[in-house]
Amino acid sequence: MEQAKAYTAQLFSQVRIGRGLHKGRNMHKSFDSNAEFNADSKFESVMHERKGKQIVVEPTTIVTAAARRAADHEFGSQATDFKLSLVEAYSRAFTTALRGKFAQLWYIDAFAGTGERTERVPATHFMGTLVTPEKVIRHRGSARIAIEIQPAFDKLVFVEKKPRAVRALHELREQHLGRDIEVIAGDANREIPKLIQPVNWRQIRAVMFLDPYGMTVDWKTLESIAKTGAIDVWFLFSLSGLYRQAARRADGIDATKRAAITRALGTIDWENELYRPARGFFSDSLPMERAVNIRGLEDWMHRRLEKIFPAVLSPLALKGERGPQLFSLFFATANPSPAATGLATRIANHILKTGISSQIYRPRRPFASAGRR
């Protein structure tokens, strides 16, 4: 494990701020207890092989026409780089540890985007004279990163509902005809359960990346993932979205917002647990007010996830320089095996802590969102 720690530290120390990073996941997961026997030693040997190699992500060299047309969002924030680096690190460790332990290792991206992301670098001027023109740098997105993971995943599934992004993913698949890549066009809340429920997970393990726009992951979708007992999940939860929807006063939450919150949190009890009567001389007649701050909402969501997943790590906060926290990046494992959860959480915890201590994530302005891929 010391080799693993050294490799993880190297990965983060070599990241170039402002450049595209990688996607990462941990190694662990779903093992049966007998499959864990030599996972640590195998992981260490692979990490030793990688020692000394520089790991940096250069701008994408192949840009498909569909991807260019679909790139109507710019994802260049440092938080995006950081998020993708964690998922990539975990994915490499996951396939390293479990290769040969199970018949197949899958990667599932429920909000796959186009396979790339763009970073717009503004023009610079001096005394009214143009010094450098504006340029757009294209980086690997989560789908392309997943394809490039070594040891490779046996199967990759990309789910996306935007037609232009779906076309870009099909073009990406055509560049890798020797790989088992499935592109599913549709809403993740409908397509993910359809994909995973019929699968016999006895000899299959998977990593899933949930990186949605806003609060669009239904609780029922999370439940279906947890029931597999075989999927490790990195889930970017829109804490700012919940904060906005769950207004300070309960009477400010209309029916639409109330339904959206219930769909995302999976219970109608959230209002009773998060709101209390306002203080005053006539408290019986005063409206209910939210009794927790944004950190309290995060803690509450953490406890909710622990009700369905055997292990959930403390989330990583992603926030702007001066604004409140915007996102919480959760890691959860569906495997109930103590050996599997123990290994998963050790590796995921180390990757998270190493990334934070390396200080590669320092919020900067502007920061409107954590960005997608």
pLDDT for 283 equals 53
pLDDT for 130 equals 87
* β-pairing verdict for 204-210 and 231-238: parallel
3-state secondary structure of 165: helix
Q: The tokens of 239 are what? A: 């804490």
Rounded-to-integer distance, Cα 160 and Cα 340, Å: 30
Rounded-to-integer distance, Cα 204 and Cα 188, Å: 21
pLDDT for 331 equals 97
Architecture of domain 2-357: 3-Layer(aba) Sandwich (3.40)
CA atoms within 13 A on the CB side of 242: 28
Q: Express as a percent the part of the chain with pLDDT over 70.
A: 71
Domain ranges of the chain: 2-357
pLDDT for 187 equals 97
Cβ atoms within 10 Å, residue 77: 23
Rounded-to-integer distance, Cα 351 and Cα 12, Å: 9
pLDDT for 276 equals 86
pLDDT for 86 equals 93
List, in sequence order, every beta strand (DSSP E) within the chain. 104-109, 116-121, 124-126, 129-132, 135-140, 155-160, 181-185, 204-210, 231-238, 275-277, 288-290, 311-312, 316-319, 325-333
Which residues does the chain have with pLDDT short of 70? 1-78, 279-285, 320-323, 355-373
pLDDT for 213 equals 87
